[in-house]
Every structure is written in structure tokens, then in C-alpha cells.
Amino acid sequence: MNRMIKGFLVISGLLVPFGIMAHPGHGTFTGTEISHYFTSPIHIGVGVALIVLAIILIRKRITKGA
């Protein structure tokens, strides 16, 4: 894999927790409740993107090893 792509993936991986963290100021919850993660479109989008990325990487590793 290209060195620039690896660097981008590392930086993106380090910044992901900041996009997922609950925060007050929008929605019907205070921001510290677990339900905030499942009802806010911002958090749902990031979570779904991470799940899709994990599935792609796991499939790639399985097919590479077989």
C-alpha cells in the first residue's frame, strides 16, 4: 500500500473517536447518555462507516490468507 494512503488511514483512525464522542447541544438527550449515539445521525453515520470499513478489511485479510 502506498505510504501516503497508510498515513491518511492512520490519521483518520486517530480522529474517528472525536466524531463518535457524545456531546451536548443537539437532540433530545443530554449528550452523556448511550442513547445519544443511536439517535444522532452524525454518530450513526460514523458508526456505520466504521463497521463497513471493518468488514471490508476483514474480508480482504481472509481472502489474502486463503
**Structure-block grid coordinates of residue 52:** 463497513
Residue carrying C-alpha cell 488511514: 9
Average pLDDT over residues 5-26: 70
27-66 pLDDT, tens digit each: 565 656 777 777 777 777 878 888 888 888 888 888 877 6
Determine contact, residues 27/36, Cβ cutoff 8 Å.
yes
Transcribe 11-57 into DSSP letters.
HHHHHHHHHHS--SSSSSS-SSSTHHHHH-HHHHHHHHHHHHHHHHH
Domain layout of the chain by residue ranges:
3-65
